[in-house]
Amino acid sequence: NRAGAKLSYEVKKYTLSLGARIRQVYANNHNLVSDSTLSQTVNNILPYLTYRYKFSDNKQLTLRYTTNSGQPDLNQLQPVPDNSNPNYIINGNPNLLPTYSHNFNLDFYTWALISGRHLWSSIGYTTTQHGFANDISYDSVGKTTSTPLNTEGNYNAYGYMGFGFPILDKVVEFNPGFN
């Protein structure tokens, strides 16, 4: 189930959009062998914000903040060991929490229609609360046991830039990019 609302304000060169989504995810699994039920209900408020400044019709700067959440799947939650490979046992973890990520992006684009030249660039940063990882252990004979768990301190940053321009009378376009 999901509902959301967004407000947008636009004046000349500025656009501001602010909104939030409210989401409920319900997972339910009934084990017929043990007659047990595993269920998880997660409610999230996912805010977002976008600010755009248009220097001109062909040049703009955008700042964006978004959030998202990822639920563990039922295989990760199921407390029954998966021993289909006796050398690699996978245990479930019914105490896993959903992830919650905060994403920040800054983008800049410019293009010249007549010449065909363009430049794009972006930097971003994401931090994730309760990220998923696997706790892996080995016994004395080399059997591996893996159990999913939540981790903290998950950060990701990126940047890229590219540009392009036509060559050979606009028959070929040169588009190098850097990450």
Burial 137-148 (b: 16+ CB within 10 A, else e): eeeeeeeeeebb
C-alpha to C-alpha distance for 179 and 160, rounded to whole angstroms: 4
pLDDT for position 173: 83
C-alpha to C-alpha distance for 62 and 102, rounded to whole angstroms: 17
Q: For 88-93, what is the mean pLDDT?
A: 90
Band of the pLDDT at 40, cuts 50, 70, 90?
confident
The residue type of 95 is N
C-alpha to C-alpha distance for 90 and 73, rounded to whole angstroms: 14
Percent composition of the chain: helix, strand, coil (DSSP 3-state, to 5): 0, 70, 30
pTM over 0.75: yes
Computed over every residue of the chain, the mean pLDDT equals 90
pLDDT for position 159: 97
| Model confidence pLDDT, tens digit, residues 132-177 | 999 999 999 889 999 999 999 899 999 999 999 888 877 788 888 8
pLDDT for position 161: 96
Instruction: Could you list the beta-strand ranges (E) of 32-98.
Output: 36-56, 59-70, 88-90
User: How does DSSP assign 154-165, residue by residue?
Assistant: EEEEEEEEEEEE
